[in-house]
Amino acid sequence: MVLFCLGLEGTAHSFGAGVVTDEGKVLSNEWDMLKPEQGGIHPREASRHHSDLGPKIILTAIEKAGINFSDINLIAFSRGPGLGPCLRTTATMARTLALKLDVPLVDVNHCVAHIEIGCLESEFNDPVTVYVSGGNSQVIAFAGGRFRTFGETLDIAIGNMLDVLGRELGMGFPAGPIIEKLANEGSNFHNLPYSVKGMDLSYSGMLTAAKKLFSEGVPIPDICFSVQETAFGMLAEIAERAIAHTKKQELLLTGGVARNNRLTEILKGVSERHSTKFHRVSPSLAGDQGAMIAWNGILQFKAGHTIGISNSHVLPKWRTDEQDILWRA
């Protein structure tokens, strides 16, 4: 019998619902991203966005999957890490559904789900994963029963850095795609702080220096070009360090910033240097969405892991390496 899992994702500015089978078929994957008129993401507004749109998104996901609520065998939800109010809103929907439908509930780690959906799509077994988004810049690999963070940002995430810079340069949210487009028109490279510390990196100094270039009248395309080359170069270096260190044979790029073509090209270059396979997760599975939560839910459920409602409080600071990865043991 085929299992149907409904996965709910709501860790930050996006709410998503997806239906995935235990054969790894993504039957539906619906989401909506809060786009504030100005400024960044306010946790309370994002959680309101989730509670306003969530029910409709869930309904659409069920419809598009061509099933009924009664067909669902399992509810999975993003338990963390993320913004507290968003996590709680999402968890409340998941608990309600699990009780109403009388099916097991599975708590999923958002970062782990990004890796596993990437492995499903790429058919990779054991990659070094570069996970880059608005809130995360991590290089992760499986070792000793857990996904361990070999390197990460010591201050702000790459997506966050791009958004803040974009705001400074007068761009809307999200700024990443606009910066990528303008970078193609840039030609003069300006030196920016390149800050790699071991396998960690830091973007705050680069951001400050880039803002300064703007105040000095450097053309915006040149700033975008210089920022991309520097920021992605740093990421490539820590990814390369992780590959050299772990000797793994696959490199996976995922998260919202995986949509960037220049970053993809650079990481492809890294994989060529080390003769590893490379895969960029396709846009519909790279950002925050419910299908990854549903798929991870299935993996966990099959390894015998579910959670009782009373224990299912959210974990806003849930680290990637805090979970025993039973299904890979």
Which positions lie near other proteins, rule CB under 8 A? 81, 135-136, 143-144, 146, 148-152, 154-155, 157, 189, 191, 194, 196-200, 229-230, 233, 236-237, 240-241, 243-245, 265-270, 272-273, 317-321
Cβ–Cβ < 8 Å for 139, 239: yes
Q: Which amino acid is at 172?
A: G
* Residue (26 or 87) nearer to other proteins, CB: 87
Cβ–Cβ < 8 Å for 21, 3: yes
* Residue (51 or 202) nearer to other proteins, CB: 202
- Which candidate, 260, 241, 252, 70, places its Cα nearest to that of 158? 260
DSSP letter, residue 153: B
How distant is the alpha carbon of residue 154 from its chain centre? 18
Nearest approach in angstroms of CB 132 to other proteins is: 13
Nearest approach in angstroms of CB 5 to other proteins is: 25
* Residue (175 or 243) nearer to other proteins, CB: 243
Residue 115 sits at the vertex; the CA angle it makes with 256 and 110, to the nearest 5 degrees, is 70
* Residue (155 or 168) nearer to other proteins, CB: 155
Q: For residue 96, give both structure tokens.
A: 């309600």
Q: For residue 140, give both structure tokens.
A: 């992760």
* Residue (172 or 316) nearer to other proteins, CB: 316
* Residue (241 or 259) nearer to other proteins, CB: 241
* Residue (94 or 238) nearer to other proteins, CB: 238
- Map residue 268 onto helix, strand or coil: helix
Q: For residue 273, give both structure tokens.
A: 């240097």
- Map residue 42 onto helix, strand or coil: coil
- Map residue 28 onto helix, strand or coil: strand
Nearest approach in angstroms of CB 153 to other proteins is: 8
CA–CA separation, 269 vs 175, rounded Å? 25
Cβ–Cβ < 8 Å for 282, 122: no
Q: For residue 52, give both structure tokens.
A: 């306003």
Q: For residue 67, give both structure tokens.
A: 């099933």
* Residue (3 or 196) nearer to other proteins, CB: 196
Nearest approach in angstroms of CB 210 to other proteins is: 15
Measured in residues, the chain has a length of 329
